[in-house]
Structure 1
Amino acid sequence: MKESLMPDLDRIDKNILRHLQSDGRLTNAEIAKAVNVSPATCHRRTQALFEAGHILRVMGHVNPASVARGTLVMVGVVLDRSTPESFAAFEAAVSDMKELLDCHLVAGDFDYLLKIRVSDMNDFNTMHNKMLIALPGVRQIRTFFVLKEIKENAPLAF
């Protein structure tokens, strides 16, 4: 997928994207009415947006507290070495962690920034002791418990 996709999008495409970002449950007919096109045109354009890589997926946003994952933890990880092999080993090890929402290779004080959801502090402590410190190549872990979520998964502005 190419990085500069924006020039291919016209006003109608952008409106379709905005509506899907705000509510992925909208029907094709509802989106068509909102963007002032026929349902057939809307369906064709939406399919084209998927095929071109503008829409990656449509999914529901589950309330974390309702499924016992109300505690959000950000974790900064520093590896022993900055080599392709150490990065690959770390990334492979975290890829199956069910508590891990996001893992980003970053520039700055950490090599990786992890976003983790757990039920509570004790749950995180167990995870830390059994999983995080056992990850390959980890030299340092810095943990930040989120006290209040101000803005999360905001729609992209374009």
Structure 2
Amino acid sequence: MTESLDRIDRQLLRLLQRDGGLTNAELARKVNVSPATCFRRVERLHKGGHIRGIYADINPDSVDMGALVIVGVVLDRSTPESFAEFEAAIVKLNVIIDCQLVAGEFDYFLRARVNDIADFNHIHATQLIALPGVRQIRTFFVMKEVIDHAPLSF
């Protein structure tokens, strides 16, 4: 991603992060280039690693996963091996939608989508506390999502 982005590249990225379903013709019209030029530019942005993927933004409530839970995890050891072991295990849990290694009081922050508190309680009791190296888990139930999937500002 060392190549520089010009004004049109940045416009294309902004448009696609707002609506990944735009057709090539719509994108070309919005940035005032030919469809062929637009297609080549978007392909270059994909190949250059600027676009990681195009996804549908699913309404969690419509698939019975309306509860968002943030989980702070503290491991019993802070070693490369314990981090690797935890990370290898956490990627296998499909309820976890994000996992970040962080500095500070916790080692990791997880975001999980579940149906309700009872659903999370079951996952906590059967999966989370069984993760390798976990010393402590703190759970935060999200009351309201104020900003969700905000576009990058560049």
What's the CA shift for 1:150? 0.2
Q: Answer yes or no: is 1:67 the counterpart of 2:63.
A: yes
**Structure 1 stretches of 5 or more lacking a match?**
none
Match of 1:134 among 130, 133, 140: 130
TM-score, length of structure 1 as denominator length: 0.96
Could you tell me the percent identity over the aligned residues?
A: 61
**Structure 2 stretches of 5 or more lacking a match?**
none
| Deviates further, 7-16 or 146-155 | 7-16
What's the CA shift for 1:96? 1.0
Q: How many residues align?
A: 154
Instruction: Give the 5 Å matches for 1:53-132.
Output: 53-132=49-128
What's the CA shift for 1:153? 1.0
Between the aligned partners of 1:55 and 1:24, the Cα distance in structure 2 is 10
Between the aligned partners of 2:33 and 2:105, the Cα distance in structure 1 is 49
Between the aligned partners of 1:34 and 1:101, the Cα distance in structure 2 is 32
What's the CA shift for 1:105? 0.3
TM-score, length of structure 2 as denominator length: 0.98
Between the aligned partners of 1:88 and 1:124, the Cα distance in structure 2 is 25
Which segments of structure 1 move beyond 3 Å, counting only runs of 4 or more? Answer: none
- Tell me which amino acid in the other structure corresponds to 1:46: V
Q: Secondary structure at the match of 1:101?
A: strand
Between the aligned partners of 1:133 and 1:60, the Cα distance in structure 2 is 31
- Tell me which amino acid in the other structure corresponds to 2:52: L
What's the CA shift for 1:141? 0.3
Between the aligned partners of 1:123 and 1:73, the Cα distance in structure 2 is 11
